[in-house]
Amino acid sequence: VSTAVIVVAAGSGTRLGAALPKAFVDLAGQTLLERSLRSIILLPYPVQVVVVAPADFVQDAQAIVHKVAPGLESLVSVVTGGATRHDSVAAGLAVVDAGVQVVLVHDAARALTPTSVFADVDMAVQATGAGVIPALPVVDSLKQVDVTGGILGIADREQLRIAQTPQGFPRAELDAAYAAAGSADFTDDASVFAANGGVMTTIPGDEVAFKITTAWDLNRAHQVLGGIPD
């Protein structure tokens, strides 16, 4: 296969307030990780999938893989994540197959991301040779504030985008960017890639690919699913 998708699912999910790591929280009968994986395996061509799970949840992740992709286990592996998202992505990158040319990195927490976004990002990386992220326009006004909440300045929202995942990259350049970044903590892979001189571009994201971070987000995801039959 020429594309790998690393699904980072090793976060603790403290902001969600659940007893379980976020990717293992239930959303209308399926965990967030299960929903993310279902979207990926619906791609019309085979891809390598690497699930990055918390150390205590590797077996749970393997059980989810078995449930979602029976017969495809040879294409899907589960590895243990690290203390930061950055470390978790690095752990996933370490097991990407030798022949893979394009790597997509996806937050398991963006559980409702449609299959088409994975395909679009993959195609755009292949077509441009650049790093590609799905992104949305900013609808709110943005303020820069100090620690007390006092307003220091404004930002021009026309020039800003909200970065989603999957974020896709030419494999060799992403490997090099992660090697150069060491243990510095970036919040997404596009930042790691750009910090090493990589060229990045955006394609339109999807509203439904929002990151499920808080209890309110989980509620919103439930409501979205109310309109999308399983």
Q: Which residue, among 11, 14, 16, has the nearest Cα to 57 in the 3D structure?
A: 11
**Smallest gap from residue 148 Cβ to ligand C5P (A):** 26
125/212 with CB nearer ligand C5P: 212
**Residues whose CB falls within 8 Å of the CB of residue 26, separated by 6 or more in sequence, listed in order:** none
**Smallest gap from residue 30 Cβ to ligand C5P (A):** 15
**Smallest gap from residue 151 Cβ to ligand C5P (A):** 26
**Smallest gap from residue 175 Cβ to ligand C5P (A):** 18
2/211 with CB nearer ligand C5P: 211
What DSSP state is assigned to residue 25? S
CB atoms within 10 A of CB 158: 8
What DSSP state is assigned to residue 22? G
3/88 with CB nearer ligand C5P: 88
Whether the Cβ atoms of residue 118 and residue 43 lie closer than 8 Å to each other: yes
79/177 with CB nearer ligand C5P: 79
16/153 with CB nearer ligand C5P: 16
Interacting residue ranges for ligand C5P, rule: CB under 6 A: 8-11, 22-23, 52, 81-85, 88, 107-109, 211, 213
**Smallest gap from residue 92 Cβ to ligand C5P (A):** 8
**Smallest gap from residue 128 Cβ to ligand C5P (A):** 25
Residue with tokens 């994975």: 118
φ, ψ for residue 187, nearest 5 deg: -85, -15
Bridge partners (DSSP) listed for residue 142: 155
Residue of minimal CB distance from ligand C5P? 11
**Smallest gap from residue 165 Cβ to ligand C5P (A):** 8
Q: What single string gives the DSSP state of each residue in 195-229?
A: HTT--EEEEE--GGG----SHHHHHHHHHHHHTS-
3/167 with CB nearer ligand C5P: 167
Bridge partners (DSSP) listed for residue 19: none
| Burial (Cβ within 10 Å: 0-12, 13-18, ≥19) of residue 127 | exposed
123/224 with CB nearer ligand C5P: 224
Bridge partners (DSSP) listed for residue 31: 26
